[in-house]
Structure 1
């Protein structure tokens, strides 16, 4: 499955990571407000983050890429967050994620980016279901899922963390 070049919204560009995003990614992984409710590694050194970014970049050219993307402002190109998706075990379902720097919370960017990601995923014709797992302590993430038309499915536990699962089926 190919990695898209760039997905555009009214205010955002969602694009594959670039080597030049390393400084933003280091800042991202070292902000506990960003990583608190995610599976992202937090407190990474510059070298660890560079290795992680290198793994993502190398994966883009493979048959099984990591679908992790930088979210930038359309005007200026500043990295404001990250979003992406990962196919789940049943092969017709994907899980999406979104995480943003705190200074961009509450501005609708997560809803805008995740909405565009959902459009892209469904356009592939391969996936019929999209899920979001929202940490119980992060109700703002659940509100994003609800604004996208996703329905709460129940509580799931993964890696010792409890989340509310939201689901959206292709119509």
Structure 2
């Protein structure tokens, strides 16, 4: 993975990671307005509207430029089609960040989350010089846990009944990875 500082992009074997644009809102809405995706995410609203997408996209450049978070559209390198999103938060005080991602249901099981997350980890360690990256997922989402394990992340803990979603308390599993250069 090579990070392009001029365009704020990354390219992997099959993906082009770039900043979201307003023109991505219809595709993001189509992918995110899906109950099966919603039930596996912490912050995604459902139903998901075009206004939700536009509001989310509008915040991203400001957050990127302020070094608060870095959100990238996961797009198919050959077709340009949006397949998902990956983000990295920045906690400068502790030199770490959280990875979060979603992939449209029609693209599940194709390895896109793992491929994009490998790139964002390299970005975190090589470009941002983080000491650690971490991620969390619901215990009811073992597919996401497998993605994190493939990245070399270690399970660091389970927070029981940590968040409330759809009227029920859910467990969160935390995973982490220390920068091997530190």
State whether TM-score is above 0.5: yes
- Cα distance in 2, alignment partners of residues 71 and 3 from structure 1: 18
Q: Does 2:83 correspond to 1:75?
A: no
Point out where structure 1 has 5 or more consecutive residues left out of the alignment.
Answer: none
Conserved in 2, the CA contact under 8 Å of 1:128 and 1:170?
yes
C-alpha spacing 1:90/1:42, structure 2 compared with 1 (3 Å): farther
Query: Once the 2 structures are TM-superposed, how far is the Cα of residue 28 of structure 1 from its aligned partner?
Result: 2.7
Q: Does 2:39 correspond to 1:41?
A: no
C-alpha spacing 1:89/1:164, structure 2 compared with 1 (3 Å): farther
Deviations 1:92-115 (A, max 9, x none): 121101210111111111111100
Q: How many residues align?
A: 169
Q: Does 2:43 correspond to 1:54?
A: no
- Cα distance in 1, alignment partners of residues 23 and 152 from structure 2: 35
| Partner residue, 1:164 | 173
- Cα distance in 1, alignment partners of residues 81 and 131 from structure 2: 33
- Cα distance in 2, alignment partners of residues 43 and 89 from structure 1: 34
Conserved in 2, the CA contact under 8 Å of 1:121 and 1:127?
yes
- Cα distance in 2, alignment partners of residues 89 and 120 from structure 1: 15
RMSD: 2.1
